[in-house]
Structure 1
Amino acid sequence: MKKFYLFALCLGTAFGSVYAQSNRTSENLFVTKTKQPFSKPLSSVQSVSSEEKAIIWTNDFGTPSDWTFTDNAGSGDNWVIGTGVPSGAYAIAGIASTTVANGFALYDSDLMCSGSQNADVTIVNPVDASAYGAVAVQFESYYRKYVGAVYVIASNDGVTWTEYEVHTSLATNDASANPEVVTIDVSPTIANSATAYIGFRYIGGCDYAWMVDDVALVETPNNSLQLTDAWWTNTPASATPWIPYSKMPQNQLNDINFFGTVLNAGGVDQPNCAMTVTLSGSGSGTYTSTSYTSLAGTGVQDTLSAGPLAASGLTNGSYAVAWSVNSDSTDTDPTDNVIDSVWDFEVTNNLYARDQGVYSGAYNTQDFDADGLIDPVEFFLDYQFYNSDTVYSIAAVFPGGTRNTAGLEVKYNIYDPAGNAVFDGVTAPVPTYTLTAADLTAGAGSEVWVELPLTDPLTGGAGFPIDAALGQVWTFSIFNEFDSLFVGVSGDAPAVGGSWTTAGISWYPLDGSNQAYYTTDCFMMRLNVTGAASTGISENSTSVNLGQNRPNPFNDNTVIPFTLSNAGNVAFTVTDVTGKVIENRNLGVLGAGSQNIEFNGSNLASGIYYYTLTVDAKRSTKKFIIE
């Protein structure tokens, strides 16, 4: 196995990204952002190392009288200590801390929701830290952010408090790990103090919740670097999101930059720190990038950059990325200096994907209008196009069981960078596909990729041409206007700069509520580009565009159009609503191009039937009606 090496010394310029998703209209629906009913946890950003250090004081909230509560806003909203979990309209789970059975501190902002919240929970009796010149507060935390902010507070007299903000990297609707072990250096306030006070402060309005447990005041080690976050990204154009991909087709490869955030968790300056990125995989070559900085002071962090790597030189195959940091000093705990196996990717001929490939569930459904029924939604997933291309199909995973059922109609669409629907339902009909029992995924390891073919609405030919000159970000959607539709998800969308890449992963309920929801799960919606490849099965198989029969409804003869991108072995099947096979034809190997199948239904009873075209083991299904 050959390797790429990318090396960077600490970068002097801080790096940051702003994530926003443009509002889009669909079916006259205007969407806005709202609090999410669910999310996935963010990996630890301020984790304390596991090394041995002096433990000055500990508390597990088992004795509530050790703590005092202060409602600074006078709103009546305050902390509680006990074992009760959040219980508001957007409740998150209870903290999974080490001593959760003894109780923990909870600020349930969502439940109280006064709109003006500022409250402290602080220790009653001071701690003697006079023998320690560098001290930190260590605790287990579970927090989900909306518009609030959370702090460790410290004082050397119990009167004047200094704020140290926690979970600063979380974006709106993001959550920490449960629990996340956090360490905050408070040396500037209480080092060498015989009367050291500590506590926690919540400031917000009507947010989610924050829980803390298993608090300790610890001595800070001298030399401790931590690699708290790492990611790579294709270099985007101005004002476009940083989107990670699990599979990238050759025609869309762009320069790759690698980033990492390093934290000085020790008690002394780190004048020379270095980040090394190793890319191992199918290609060959060595790339280096060098810059310098000094992490002066405990708690100081910086974002480092390596690259760019000219990805256009990568050959097809899998690549693994690993980051590591070190300095001139011997780190007391090097285990937190490495991040790997979170941003691996594959270079392909035709497959474009953001999911990890293994089904892990479906989106968290909701009854938005409280009518007792799960509401239909439209799923959106963004893809970037650096070069003009042709998208032949969307491939998606649809869970079965109590989720989707055979006979459910799926609609799908493309939105250009300006938010305009390609298939507007007037000049170009919205494509549809009818699910069969064979299209439904039973669970992990049995994923069925259903191919949803696309055409050029101007020419009717197979594949939709993407014009990169119109903008990089194109959006692909799947929906049903009336019935519940479930799309599979695969793992989490990786984090960028400490925040989940929720840009371009959204779903909107089609119930008139005008709300947009974002998720850190990644929908299993892939693209087949630059040729006739199947996103779910094989890069060398044939793509089929199955058209709607004409006329429909009918009572005797109908014509079914279809287009093959390449020659392929074709079979045609008609079934009734129970799945019984009415007709099965093996059409043999047919050449590429547009073709028709004639079908006579004069001997069939009136009702709904499904017709399926199977080409090289890939199925496309639609329904027709016999009068």
Structure 2
Amino acid sequence: MRTNYAPVLLMALALPGTLFSQWVTKPSAQFPQAIRATQPHHPPLEDGARDGGDIVWSEDFANGLAGNNPSGAWTTDGANGNIWRFNTNAPRGAYTPTNQRIQSTTFSNGFAKFASDSANCTWAGNTPTALPTSEFTSWEGSLVSPTIDLSATPYVEIEFQQRSRFCCGDSPFFLEVSTDGGSTWPTAILTNEGLPTNQDPTFTETRRFNITQAISGDPSNVKIRFRHSSDAGTSHYFWQVDDIKIIELNSTDVRMTGSGTNFWDLAAAATYDSLPYTVFPYSQLRPMGLNMTVLNNGSVELTNLTANFKVERGTDVILDQDQNVDALSPGEIRTIFVDPGFTPPAEEGTYDLSTMISADGDLTPDDNSGMGSFKVHPSYYGRDGGTATSIFEDGDGSGSEFVLGNMFHAAYDDMLYAIAVAFNTGSEEGVLIRGQLLDANQSDFPVIENTDEYSIEPGQVNAVGGSNFVIMEFNPPVQLTAGMDYMAAVQCFGNARVSSNGSSPAQTSFIFYDNGTGPTWFYTTQTPMVRMVVGDDINVGLTDVVENAGTSLGQNMPNPTRDQTNIAYSLDDAAKVSFEVRDMSGKLVMAQNLGSMPAGQHRIQLDTRTLGEGVYFYTMTADEVRLSKRMTVIR
């Protein structure tokens, strides 16, 4: 039976000092990314020409908009360019605490900032008050450099320090380059790639971008601008920029700019097969697109390049492969894939990827490596990082409904036994939840099948760093068809907080809620901890899936039970252990204190003859760790 719901989700920006929830982004076209040519405009330097590393242009904003550089004053542009400010004060607003100031090298003499949160406030003296959310504005404003003549050094990179935070759309922070006096800006580079929505880095970043190709049209007539783009649909929080340098490149320098276990491109992908999955079940193991992205960050053609891919599980080397790479022109970026492909073995564990690129005469080999990791599990299929770092919630605690899920690809026919979801502290006890399998091939994501309804019980939620998953079973299991895409989702009928960890590519993780104009689907770039549980045998997926901090709790056997049932558990370290059983209302119906137990595998027998027919939750407490699972008693 298929049922569609109209859930509501009211999210909130983070007040200073509070745990924040995640806003989401309505599906939309991607914002234009950097345009990178593959051939240089200028010929390579002749042998014997001087090498790079020299700073050929710089700005530290000691003189504010007037500039402290060789070329002249800065200007502002765009409808809201006047939001750009120059001083030593931290950004401030209703949602921005005053301790988030950039710690750049020269912050004490001033820096540039675009305080979008501040601009979305009313002010009474020094006190900011947020405007109503319906009045939040996604600002448009640029900080534009004077004209810079780089004709004597056309092979350069730009470096700057920044601190940024954004909410609640895509990142709006772009470095753009013009070679026609600012008439056009064909190159747009996202400056904080990899930073999730609504998260402030606790450090000041140094970002570097090769602009050799970007200035090749006319290196004597270069302008750069730092643009806060209204197209991103983002109203908050801030962008702080300082200590800009344009640096001449070394003649010979290969740089690794990215490394991954899979490579997925929204514009080119026909399925969700190559998403960056973090956990593969045995039944879905397949060739992986291990890759590295490399840049010729020098001024001469690079030759004799070798790419190395290595995969290790603990001390075991699973793959160690060298492959030759064709020559790279100056400024050229290329993604290299492992060849032949790599399929992990069906052996449980964490697999660590290390990548390396080398070239003849490389003058800076310290930026030639990358890394990644993934896990293989008997039954879990996941995309999250495994431990709770952030949350999705209904926001105002009013009992609103929402649906939240991730896209998955079934490479082979399989059986889906359950949806696994991690919940955070702050979830209301007794809130009804259920797992859903949704059709990813239709725009409204209709329901294929629902699990039974469950409720959030004590001991099932996670603090930050926790990894306790609630298992919601399909009865009967659902057939997955090879080659098809699906969404694994959780439907929450009240005040629930779903854990998240990781960044999702656009249009691959979704949420259904009412943003004030009616319920609809939105995508989010934060990865909810919602997984599939698949495999050939239901016991493989559901026996030992609850674990945290080296402590694991098994499924009771038999389940359902009439008289007695056995529960296995394990401890990495000695701990004080107790068990309790609660009914669906949360009432305590059974408790046992086992005292101090040594590290190792253990088993407890529960006498269920005094329990009435129904569903119960049993919880084990081992020192500070609490783990729970569901059992059924029949008569």
> TM-score, normalized by length of structure 1?
0.67
| 1:488 lines up with 2:508 in the alignment | no
In structure 1, what is the Cα distance between the partners aligned to 2:313 and 2:591? 48
Which residue of the other structure, out of 322, 329, 352, is the alignment partner of 2:361? 329
| CA displacement, residues 506-526 of structure 1 (integer Å, 9 cap, x when unaligned) | 333357642544444433333
Change (3 A) 1:62 1:293: same
Change (3 A) 1:309 1:542: farther
Which residue of the other structure, out of 338, 342, 346, is the alignment partner of 2:369? 338
The one-letter amino acid of 2:407's match is D
Match of 1:221 in 2: 250
In structure 1, what is the Cα distance between the partners aligned to 2:582 and 2:258? 53
In structure 1, what is the Cα distance between the partners aligned to 2:52 and 2:380? 48
Match of 2:38 in 1: none
Q: Cα distance, 1:285 vs. partner? A: 6.2
Q: Cα distance, 1:296 vs. partner? A: 1.4
Which residue of the other structure, out of 275, 278, 282, is the alignment partner of 2:307? 275
Match of 1:296 in 2: 329
In structure 1, what is the Cα distance between the partners aligned to 2:101 and 2:94? 12
Aligned counterparts, 1:187-586, within 5 A: 199-200=225-226, 204-205=230-231, 207-208=233-234, 210-233=239-262, 238-240=270-272, 242-281=274-313, 288=321, 290=323, 292-297=325-330, 299-311=331-343, 313-330=345-362, 332-340=363-371, 343-363=372-392, 366-367=395-396, 373=398, 375-400=400-425, 403-418=426-441, 419-423=445-449, 431-444=452-465, 447-456=467-476, 464-469=477-482, 471-481=483-493, 483-489=494-500, 491-493=501-503, 500-509=504-513, 513-530=518-535, 531=537, 532=539, 533-537=543-547, 541-542=554-555, 562=560, 568-569=566-567, 573-575=581-583, 579-581=587-589
Match of 1:497 in 2: none
Change (3 A) 1:53 1:69: closer
| Length, aligned pairs only | 526
Q: Cα distance, 1:310 vs. partner? A: 4.6
Q: Cα distance, 1:194 vs. partner? A: 9.4
In structure 1, what is the Cα distance between the partners aligned to 2:591 and 2:433? 24
Which residue of the other structure, out of 86, 107, 111, is the alignment partner of 1:104? 111
In structure 2, what is the Cα distance between the partners aligned to 1:478 and 1:159? 48
SS at match of 1:335: helix
| CA displacement, residues 577-603 of structure 1 (integer Å, 9 cap, x when unaligned) | 57443799x99699xxxxx989669xx
Report sequence identity in percent: 18
Match of 2:86 in 1: 81
The one-letter amino acid of 1:437's match is P
In structure 2, what is the Cα distance between the partners aligned to 1:91 and 1:473? 42
| 1:138 lines up with 2:145 in the alignment | no
Aligned counterparts, 1:26-175, within 5 A: 26-28=4-6, 37=23, 53-67=53-67, 68-70=73-75, 79-82=84-87, 83=89, 85=91, 97-107=104-114, 111=119, 117=140, 119-123=142-146, 132=153, 134-141=155-162, 146=170, 150-153=174-177, 164-167=187-190
Q: Which runs of 5+ in 2 are unaligned?
A: 14-21, 26-33, 36-50, 68-72, 121-135, 569-578, 593-602, 621-626
| CA displacement, residues 157-189 of structure 1 (integer Å, 9 cap, x when unaligned) | x78887643228959987997624123435985
In structure 1, what is the Cα distance between the partners aligned to 2:319 and 2:101? 47
The one-letter amino acid of 1:351's match is Y
In structure 2, what is the Cα distance between the partners aligned to 1:443 and 1:173? 17
In structure 1, what is the Cα distance between the partners aligned to 2:222 and 2:413? 62
Change (3 A) 1:163 1:64: farther
- Bigger shift: 569-578 or 76-85? 569-578
SS at match of 2:262: strand
Change (3 A) 1:98 1:622: farther
RMSD of aligned alpha carbons: 5.1
Q: Which runs of 5+ in 1 are unaligned?
A: 1-23, 40-44, 425-429, 457-463, 494-499, 547-561, 591-595, 602-608
> TM-score, normalized by length of structure 2?
0.66
- Bigger shift: 185-194 or 94-103? 185-194
The one-letter amino acid of 1:303's match is T
The one-letter amino acid of 2:60's match is D
Q: Cα distance, 1:215 vs. partner? A: 0.8
Change (3 A) 1:529 1:185: closer
The one-letter amino acid of 1:449's match is F
Which residue of the other structure, out of 576, 593, 611, is the alignment partner of 2:616? 611
Change (3 A) 1:315 1:91: same
In structure 2, what is the Cα distance between the partners aligned to 1:442 and 1:226? 39
Change (3 A) 1:422 1:234: same
